[in-house]
Amino acid sequence: MKRGRIGIRKPGFGKWKIEKAANGVVWLLILTMGLYILGSGVKLRPLKKAAYVREVLLQEMEADLRRAALQTLYPGLVYAAGDRGQRADSPGEWLLEQAVGVFPLYSFLAGQRLYTTEIESTAAYEILIQGGVHDENEINQETGEAFDLAEQVEEENRQAQNAASDMDTDAPEEQTDDTAAGPSEPSATGHIYTAEELSDFDFLKNNFYIIESNTDISSDLLNADRLLSMDMALGQDSSAPQILLYHTHSQEGFVDSVEGDAGTTIVGVGDRLAELLTERYGYNVIHNTKVYDYIDGELDRNRAYSLAAEDVKQILAENPSLEVLIDLHRDGVNEGTHLVTEVDGKPTAQFMFFNGLSYSKRNGPISYLENPYIGENLALSLQLKLACEAYYPGVSRKIYLKSLRYNLHLRPKSLLVEAGAQTNTLEEMMNAMEPLAEVLYQVLDNPK
């Protein structure tokens, strides 16, 4: 009798089918994601606050899909490279990039980033939609919860008040004509930090900086000895323009701003700062008041940074003597938060210096946002912060570090300042320009 065939499968046949199916799913996901990314890059829809969430989710999905593909194709190399949390420029990650780069599809998708160079990531800038570094609805990427901005501000204020209460503070003499008066050395009533304190990386980072969760900074870059030894003094005299003041977000207003009156917005506050720097301190200042965030009758900050960059580059080409660039903003906070202190008996809005690092914690250096002046940018903001601590304790908040560039690559002495917030009064903002102008003078007029 003829025997029937017994259903014997070759060893590993089931596993092979599973792996084949998994590979198909991974590549289908990669292709789908690639098409979506390309579509997003072409369409660049202004999704307001939702765009920032979309950006974060796409970054997470892109990284996870990439890792899944690598795990399927080169499990041995992935194991050797270690955890994916390591820096993107590590030897293991570099080896993986070279290995997977032989696939044409991956090479193509790698060039089609979630970001658009022209606008330095539209979605990420939407975090500034309320006018500053903070948005009252901003999400902490690590916890998925909203930042408690009020708590952060209160903590900063407590630290400043405690530092001030430890000093013997004598009220400085009141000036009758605060613009016409020449620059006089203010009393150092605050805290002067020692070189030993500042050389401690953890001390420096914890006491002077707030670092956004999606970026980071190394002790090599945040080195107080090196940053404080950099000469930030102006090399050009006032016979030619020295300082350019401008506003990427010119429509930022305050609690008592008058609609349609630019003099009651951040532009009017810039007029006051320019006046002080020119008349009291003798600098040659250009105040560019051109609008970059109000297009066709609507508030639109999608391309504000790229539009501002085009104009600033033109101004620099026409005025090569310009050494200092100041982009003056106001912050956006919870409506119950009031960034105010007292300076010389006057209610004064607190301000904050801001740095972009062109660095993502997940993917490492953001190469298309190159900034050769990150060190100089950091040096300027730190020197200004220390001057605030010495002469006006409590007026400046911690320096804020974020992952992108914010046009700080256009000059070594580039500065982004977040003065007050939408809950401050115009008077408080105007008063804040006096200590800001003074600390600028203290740093820019004192060669190392």
Residue 198 and residue 113 share a domain: no
Nearest to 194 by CA among 385, 386, 344: 386
Q: Does some domain include residue 27?
A: no
Q: Give CA–CA dist 253/203, Å, rounded.
A: 35
Q: Strand 209-211 and strand 324-331: pairing?
A: unpaired
Residue 123 and residue 197 share a domain: no
Q: How far is CA 118 from CA 109, 125, 408, in A?
A: 18, 12, 15
Q: Does some domain include residue 304?
A: yes
Residue 124 and residue 197 share a domain: no
Q: Does some domain include residue 339?
A: yes
Q: How many angstroms separate the first and last alpha carbons of the chain? A: 103
Residue 334 and residue 209 share a domain: yes
Q: Give CA–CA dist 412/86, Å, rounded.
A: 30
- Work out the number of other CB atoms within 10 angstroms of the CB of residue 260: 7
Residue 115 and residue 226 share a domain: no
pLDDT number for residue 262: 96
pLDDT number for residue 141: 41
Q: Does some domain include residue 185?
A: no
pLDDT number for residue 176: 44
Which residues lie below 8 Å from residue 150, measured CB to CB, with a gap of 6+? 333, 334, 336, 337
* pLDDT per residue of the chain (448 residues) written in tens, 0 to 9: 545 444 445 555 565 666 666 677 667 766 776 666 555 544 443 444 444 445 445 555 655 666 666 667 667 665 555 544 344 444 555 565 666 555 555 555 544 443 333 333 333 333 333 334 543 333 344 444 444 444 555 555 555 445 444 444 444 444 444 554 556 778 888 999 999 999 999 999 999 999 999 999 999 999 999 999 999 999 989 999 999 999 999 999 999 999 999 999 999 999 999 999 999 999 999 999 999 998 888 888 889 999 999 999 999 999 999 999 999 999 999 999 999 999 999 999 999 999 999 999 999 999 999 999 999 999 999 999 999 999 999 999 999 999 999 999 999 999 999 999 999 999 999 999 999 999 999 999 989 7
Domain that holds residue 245: 191-444
Residue 203 and residue 119 share a domain: no
Q: Does some domain include residue 41?
A: no
Q: Does some domain include residue 138?
A: no
Helix (H), strand (E) at residue 63: helix 49-73
Residue 126 and residue 248 share a domain: no
The number of distinct structural domains making up the chain is 2
Residue 325 and residue 437 share a domain: yes
Q: Does some domain include residue 45?
A: no
CATH of the domain at 376: 3.40.630.40
Q: How far is CA 417 from CA 17, 90, 196, 398, in A?
A: 59, 34, 28, 12
Residue 244 and residue 123 share a domain: no
Residue 121 and residue 198 share a domain: no
> What is the pTM for the complete model shown?
0.68
Residues 342 and 157: beta-carbon distance below 8 Å = no
SS3 62: helix
Residue 232 and residue 96 share a domain: no
Residue 224 and residue 118 share a domain: no
CA dihedral sign of residues 177, 179, 184, 190 = positive
Q: 109, 130, 151: which is the final residue of a domain?
A: 130
Q: Does some domain include residue 141?
A: no
Q: 130, 160, 177: which is the final residue of a domain?
A: 130
